[in-house]
Amino acid sequence: MKKIFSLLALLITFLGTAQILEPVKWSSSVVKVSDTELDLVITANIEDEWHLYSQFTPDGGVNPLVFTFKNQKGNYQLVGKAKEGKYKKVYSDVFEIDEYFFSGTAKFTQRVKVLNPKLKTIDVFVDGQACIEGRCTSTSSNLKFILPVLKIAETTTAETASDSVSKPIDTVAATTATDTTTTEVAPVKDANIEKPSNKEGKSLWTIFFLAFLGGFAALLMPCIFPMIPMTVSFFTKQSKTKTEGIKNAIIYGLAIIAIYVLLGSLITGIFGPKVLNELSTSVTFNIIFFVLLVVFALSFLGAFEIVLPSSWATKIDSKADKGGIVGIFFMALALAVVSFSCTGPIVGALLVESSSKGGIAPIIGMLGFSSAIAIPFMLFAMFPGWLNSLPKSGGWMNTIKVSLGFLELAFAFKFLSNADLVLQKHWLERELFIAIWIAIFAAWALYLFGKYMLPHDYEKADKIGVGRLVMGMIVTAFTFYMIPGLWGAPLKILSGLTPPMNYAESASGFGNSGSSTTELPEHAHKGPHGIVAFEDYEIGLAYAKKVGKPVLLDFTGDACANCRKMEDNVWSDKSILPILKEKVVLISLYCDRKIELPKEQQFVSKVSKDSIITIGNKWTDFQITRYKSNSQPLYVILNNKGEDASKPIAYTTDIQEYKKWLEDGIAEASKK
């Protein structure tokens, strides 16, 4: 009985691996708009739990879904880009960006202006990728739109055609996504609901919490902290009863919250969620954010004060004397204006960070920040006796201010790194980024230990407090933690903040450039963990014959998150990596790569009958033809003649299972 169950399990595993997946069904229709214009409607019906992605996914993650409109010249023009319905957003830990996707159905509409009155059909090739937990697959289709009869003036056809696109094929980028983290890409039935997420993996609750901590830090600043007993005393003395004093203090706190939330709302309203979502990959905005954070950091470090005109505070303060709810509101506004030199850089940094997340993140951020400031005022008004437990004002408040300055300076370089990654200029590669952070945190540690003073420090203390000592030790430990990153250590705590491992001066890490690319075979490159890899099947197989090794055929994708998980968590294991480096030749075939093949290499698939236009199409067709599967990752062991020596294996986190599969396949390959 056990043998029967084992055989059934093996059969199910093989069938699951070899299955031809068609999670997306494509259909087309035509809507007449005018005598010369049509809407080409492309509908994707997506199977449950699968995801198809939007044309607005930011750069740096997945490759785009592509609509290829054939035979345009002289026949028709595209009017703008394809429009689509609302998408959902989910953060990908692997690519460190928001990915936008559809579930259930997705509709794309491309308006065209017909130039040739004799045109009967328009052919469109749709090429994308769909994903489900543990695997991804290419999805493509040749769509034929049958056109209705149109009244096109013959006299204007030639003139209009001369203005048409000169290229025979126009590629309109739309996006498709691949894998996101399993816990965050849960299937959502309603395709018109956006699921809020953000680039750093922070939910809106996380943004609120971090903003709350920022508000609490601002509360401890020298601009605000001394005002707590003064303000509470005002409410308790001016109010006729204790109940009235508590009520006024609550109104005061709510007014503080309203002022800052209004600021967040203005940011969201002015830019709009869509624009805010695009800020994370905008070079211009990332550079602006970098400059702003540097200015804010220098202000906290004591280089200068950022203050609003004193006349503003005077006018607002005069209105606060009116009393009542209006007067209390102006008291709260006066607090915001007077304390701007302390709160401004924090508020600015929070707005910069939350704005890059998009949606209502700026509003949530300001809600968290203002709540941290307002709640203590309300609580101390309710329980005035608590004032006796407050620590006295002193130099510790400036220490907090300076510490925030160092943090803002460090995070400023994250935005500069974003711009560099988008431009692919390699100006701020991983080693330099880490070195800058080490310098900033080392300077912060020395400050905490009292080794030097900054302009706002009163005098150099003979001794430091326990809290400052503990903080200094934490910062020092973090500084030492980052140092191995210069030599290629992964620094997983900083995942998502530092540039990726492959965006570095040396694939082997700083100081190990001796293992130069001159040692690599021709047409090979250093793959994950320094494994020698080929990206062309024929070239890789020829090299395997030359060196007498079997082949590990790796069907993968640039935007395949589960492929990266396999590489990071399985391939990196000390029992697996030596096998991959020494006993096999790795051939990685990227099935989602949108690089167009030379015209002479393009063909029509014998299996799917689809046009094979890109490198990704080519390797996907190869995978389908040979292994009856179109999902990635997929791994196969071949002998150096190109014959299969193992059954395919897909995504697995079981290192021992993968090791046994490798060893059995290599042993079988040596027999053939």
Measure the CA–CA gap between 253 and 240, rounded to whole angstroms.
Answer: 19
Q: Which of 221-225, 293-297, 509-513, 572-576 has the highest mean pLDDT?
A: 572-576
Average pLDDT, integer, range 102-128 = 86
Does residue 315 register a pLDDT over 90?
no
> pLDDT confidence of 536, banded at 50, 70, 90?
very high
Q: Which of 138-152, 271-285, 392-406 has the highest mean pLDDT?
A: 138-152
Residue whose C-alpha is closest to residue 214's, from 73, 346, 75, 378: 346
Measure the CA–CA gap between 263 and 211, rounded to whole angstroms.
Answer: 14
Backbone phi, then psi, for 46, in 5-degree steps?
-105, 135
Residue whose C-alpha is closest to residue 624's, from 601, 611, 608: 608
Average pLDDT, integer, range 92-102 = 72
**Is 3.40.30.10 the CATH number for 524-670?**
yes
Burial class (CB in 10 A: 0-12, 13-18, 19+), 230: exposed
Q: Which of 186-200, 345-359, 470-484 has the highest mean pLDDT?
A: 470-484
User: pTM of the full predicted structure?
Assistant: 0.45
Measure the CA–CA gap between 584 and 190, rounded to whole angstroms.
Answer: 46
Structure confidence at residue 180 (pLDDT): 34
CB 575 within 8 A of CB 542: no
Which tokens in the block code for residue 574?
């000390």
Structure confidence at residue 221 (pLDDT): 61
Which tokens in the block code for residue 33?
């708009």
- Tell me the residue type at 23: P
Percent of the chain scoring above 90 in pLDDT: 15
Residue with tokens 């294996």: 649
Sheet holding 105-114, edge to edge: 24-32, 37-46, 105-114, 76-84
- Tell me the residue type at 13: T
Does residue 6 register a pLDDT over 80?
no
Sequence spans of domains, the chain: 24-146, 204-309+316-390, 395-510, 524-670
Structure confidence at residue 537 (pLDDT): 93
* Integer angstrom CA distances of residue 259 from 374, 378, 579: 11, 16, 61
Which residue would you say has higher pLDDT here, 634 or 5? Answer: 634
> pLDDT confidence of 443, banded at 50, 70, 90?
very high
Which tokens in the block code for residue 215?
């508000």
Which tokens in the block code for residue 526?
């250093």
CB 580 within 8 A of CB 670: no
Does residue 517 register a pLDDT over 60?
no
Q: Is 413 helix (H, G, I), strand (E, B) or coil?
A: helix
Element (H, E) at 668: helix 655-671
| Fold entry, domain 24-146 | Immunoglobulin-like (2.60.40)
Side-chain-facing half-sphere of 456: CA atoms under 13 Å = 24
Let me know if the fold of 24-146 is the same as that of 524-670: no
Give the chain's mean pLDDT. Answer: 74
Which residue would you say has higher pLDDT here, 85 or 386? Answer: 85
pLDDT tens figures, 602-650? 898 887 777 888 888 899 889 888 988 878 889 999 998 899 999 999 8
pLDDT tens figures, 320-361? 555 567 767 777 676 666 566 556 556 666 666 665 555 667
Measure the CA–CA gap between 177 and 181, rounded to whole angstroms.
Answer: 12
Collect all residues with Cβ–Cβ distance below 8 Å to 651 and sequence separation of at least 6.
Answer: 134, 135, 562, 565, 566, 633
Q: Is 514 helix (H, G, I), strand (E, B) or coil?
A: coil
Structure confidence at residue 1 (pLDDT): 46
Does residue 76 register a pLDDT over 80?
yes
- Tell me the residue type at 555: F
Element (H, E) at 140: strand 135-146
pLDDT tens figures, 638-671? 998 899 999 999 888 889 999 999 999 999 998 8
CB 560 within 8 A of CB 178: yes
- Tell me the residue type at 232: V
